[in-house]
Amino acid sequence: MRGWRMAMLWCALCGMLPLAHAQQSSAHSPTDGEWRMPAHDYASTRYSPLAEIQRGNVKQLKVEFTFDTGIDHGQEAAPLVVGDTMYVVTPYPNVLFALDLSQSGKLKWKYQPKPEAAAQGVACCDVVNRGAVYWDGAVIYNTLDGDTVAVDASTGKERWKTKLGNIQKGESITAAPLVVKDKVLVGNSGGEFGVRGWLAALDAGSGKLLWKMYATGPDADVGIGPNFKPFYPADRGKDLGVRTWPPQAWKIGGGTAWGWISYDPQLDLVYYGTANPGPWNEAQRPGDNKWTAGIFARDPDDGSARWFYQFSPHDLYDYDAINENLLLDLRIDGQLRKTLVRPERNGFVYVMDRATGQVLSADPFVQGNSILRVDLKTGRPVYNPEKKTEQGKVVRGICPAAPGAKDWNPSAFSPRTGLVYIPHINLCMDWLSVETNYIAGTPYVGAEVKMYAGPGGHRGVVTAWDPIARTPRWIIKEDLPVWSGALATAGDVVFYGTMDGWFKAVDARTGAELWKFRTGSGVIGQPVTYRGPDGHQYVAVLSGVGGWAGAIVVGNLDPRDKGAALGFVNATADLKDKTQPGGTLYVFALPH
């Protein structure tokens, strides 16, 4: 285990200048140049100590090799690198490729899980997959139709497969799993189909289900017992997962866990967010709708809940709370605090005490108007009465739009700069709530939405946020929504991609553009970096537009249909003119 003292030692060993006020709290940060989990470490920093590629030489990056996956849908996964092998997971049909890095990415083997074709019909926002995790000689990932599979990393042979989701109910799985204490943690997708959200733990060796905890329902189903001690009074009480809903509504209430999971080995807690309540029409679900649109801290051994915080009680705008949780030890008001930093979809950057769930600060990182502020005494957002949605009424100019200020695409943190690099969007929307009926396996939304560019007219942003000063250090404006993840390195370089196909490197301290390369399709993947078998540093990213933001391209939707893709098409009606479908891995390196 590593606390902040070990993190300081780790930084020193990597030749970095440790910060007195901001340290990583990561128990699994490989310093050998590998990339074994989507976020690189349990603290979800997406930071690499490799520094061969630096601000001064990154402009020399060249393509080392490419690999065509043959699947032209949204490529959102982070490649894994273990030893001399790279592992790449595709969107549906969720093929796993193993590439030999000692032979310029030559294919070693591929595994084809052959998920049920019907799963494509319950994927709300493209048939994406967000990646795999490596554990004990196996590559473990999820398939769209609700399976978790473990594949032998050397041979490509299946070790085990466990069915967790039920597509007949509208369930799918798009998230990347995480292995904690020999347990594979998996969450479901399908909030727009009236499913009931859960997080499950499987035995990593056998695939046996160990526990499954829900986001709605009685305390026993949610894992709430004597050790559950939420910080705010609004989250205390018996069976709030039932009582904060209309009768029986919690059974189809959403709260899926399709985002990111972090782990603190010192506190022995896993952290993950729960998505929007269902349906979007708030009039059909009066109450706080617990335990949706919030964050759980759980004991990984048995799944029992330790605390919960709700970012958006009675969510009005589809502000899912599935975003990344960066576990950082920050010096706040002269005291070193174990914090959880969260750029949230509702437009605020939260700094929380990760032991208790107390909100230490919550500051807007976009120009929003749906929430006026966050009351630190109660922890509750103060909704703007002028922008509150209600059935049968069109509410115009709600900012941010339904994807929130940022969607699934994860931020990165550099202990060298102390900054969080947030890839996000700048969209507003018009909203009309309409009555909807639940039919298993079909959309359960109840809202008509039209999105468009937010203040300033640009649709994408990358913000370098100082979580201690609680202010942006620099901002980059992009024409299109930024839907890729971010990567930070010890070379003081930050990488991200754009939806029109540019893969960019910017100065981590100033935001100045240092290099860019035009790929064959929009970049919505998660860039990674690694040390190759030859000892040199490489950077890799998948190119392939899609996801919710790119649905107009991969779904070949009509740009005149303003409400298509749950309203996103109106915001990206020009995307077909700027990019095309793709599915290619790009790997870059300096000349050597």
| Among candidate residues 202, 300, 188, the one with its CA nearest the CA of residue 255 | 188
- Of the candidates 41, 145, 235, 318, the residue annotated as catalytic is 318
Cα 433 off chain centre by: 27
Does the active-site annotation cover 561? no
What distance in Å separates the CA atoms of residue 314 and residue 323, rounded to the nearest whole number?
18
Placement of tokens 């999971």 in the chain: 261
Q: How many helices (H) and strands (E) does the chain have?
A: 4, 39
CB crowding 282-300: b at 16 or more within 10 Å, else e: bebbebbbbbbbbbbbbbb
Between the alpha carbon of residue 152 and those of residues 34, 41, 93, 97, 532, the distances in Å are: 18, 22, 19, 12, 21
Does the active-site annotation cover 318? yes
What distance in Å separates the CA atoms of residue 328 and residue 73, rounded to the nearest whole number?
34
CB 441 within 8 A of CB 457: no
| Among candidate residues 429, 407, 412, 414, the one with its CA nearest the CA of residue 524 | 407
What distance in Å separates the CA atoms of residue 384 and residue 386, rounded to the nearest whole number?
5
Q: Tokens in use for 239?
A: 């069976």
Measure the CA dihedral 220/221/224/225, to 10°.
20
Placement of tokens 């000892």 in the chain: 535
- Of the candidates 76, 126, 171, 192, the residue annotated as catalytic is 192
What value, to the nearest 5°, has the Cα angle with vertex 419 and ends 414 and 422?
A: 100
Q: Tokens in use for 30?
A: 């490989």
What distance in Å separates the CA atoms of residue 381 and residue 373, rounded to the nearest whole number?
6
What distance in Å separates the CA atoms of residue 351 and residue 341, rounded to the nearest whole number?
5
Between the alpha carbon of residue 489 and those of residues 138, 358, 414, the distances in Å are: 27, 30, 7
Q: What is the 8-class DSSP label of residue 192?
A: G
| Among candidate residues 433, 420, 254, the one with its CA nearest the CA of residue 342 | 420
Between the alpha carbon of residue 225 and those of residues 201, 234, 293, 299, 303, the distances in Å are: 18, 16, 21, 12, 11
- Of the candidates 188, 276, 323, 325, the residue annotated as catalytic is 276
Does the active-site annotation cover 192? yes
Catalytic residues: 192, 276, 318
